[in-house]
Amino acid sequence: MAKHRDTEYGQELYDSLKRISAGAPLPLDGRLSFFLELGSVRERELRKMKKFRFQLLHRWLVEHIRPCRVADIGGGKGLLAYLLQQSGWQASVIDPVPQSLPDKYKDIASGARVRIAPTERVPHIDSPFETHLGRHFDLLIGMHAHGSNVKVIDAALQYGCGFVLFPCCVIDEPFYPPLGVSWLESVAGYAVQQGLAVQPFRLNFKGQNIGLISPGRCEVRMKDEG
């Protein structure tokens, strides 16, 4: 299994995740290979976007998945949920720590600084994520979320929702990866063992930038859609 330094998530790990995904009991369908392909195109395109992970994930999501009921688990200040809401998604944050939205963000398409009015809100569930909360959503996102990766996969199994996970630290999870196996590989392996189709993709931001997608019941955009 691949090893990696804390700050470097290299090709070796990505390739290992592709191998793990290929072992999924469900055959890889066209939808998942599409994710893989576009992930690498975007990475080449977005060399300078290293700081804007919420904007990059927002852009990736709207390009690949039709608007749906989405929860950003461990969503922090809620910028990703806010951006999805602006794009017509029904977005909530689930995070035990209530935080206010930031007052501005950078629009990566125009380069402009965009203000968020103090009156703007996104629905916020102020509690740790528990599997049963998944039944209210079509897509569960965990970007560097704590205590939630395994529960998100369990919710996907139970309720048929999709997920996008960027597993980062092993905090409050029910198991640790074995020696020599990364947490990412361990999470991907767990999803595959449960019979879920999963695929890695990569965004160009600093830190743990490899995501795992399992579309579940989400409607995926076709490759040739505008």
Ligand X SMILES: C[S@@+](CC[C@H](N)C(=O)[O-])C[C@H]1O[C@@H](n2cnc3c(N)ncnc32)[C@H](O)[C@@H]1O
Interface residue list for ligand X (CB under 6 A): 73-76, 94-97, 128-129, 143-148, 172
Positive or negative, the CA dihedral 108, 114, 118, 122 is negative
Rounded to the nearest whole angstrom, what is the least distance from the CB of residue 15 to ligand X in the complex? 25
In the complex with ligand X, the residue whose CB is nearer, 20 or 145, is 145
Helices (H), 46-92: 53-64, 79-86
- The span from the CA of 181 to the CA of 179, in Å, is 6
- The span from the CA of 29 to the CA of 47, in Å, is 29
Whether residue 183 contacts residue 169, with contact meaning beta carbons closer than 8 Å, is answered with yes
Rounded to the nearest whole angstrom, what is the least distance from the CB of residue 77 to ligand X in the complex? 8
Residue nearest ligand X, Cβ-based? 74
Strands 199-202 and 210-214: antiparallel
3-state helix, strand, coil in the chain (%, to 5): 35, 15, 50
Residues 6+ apart with CB under 8 A from 131: 151, 154, 155, 158
In the complex with ligand X, the residue whose CB is nearer, 73 or 165, is 73
Instruction: Please provide the size of the chain in residues.
Output: 226
Rounded to the nearest whole angstrom, what is the least distance from the CB of residue 8 to ligand X in the complex? 18
Rounded to the nearest whole angstrom, what is the least distance from the CB of residue 171 to ligand X in the complex? 7
Rounded to the nearest whole angstrom, what is the least distance from the CB of residue 30 to ligand X in the complex? 30
Nearest to 14 by CA among 182, 222, 141: 182
Rounded to the nearest whole angstrom, what is the least distance from the CB of residue 97 to ligand X in the complex? 4
Whether residue 29 contacts residue 180, with contact meaning beta carbons closer than 8 Å, is answered with no
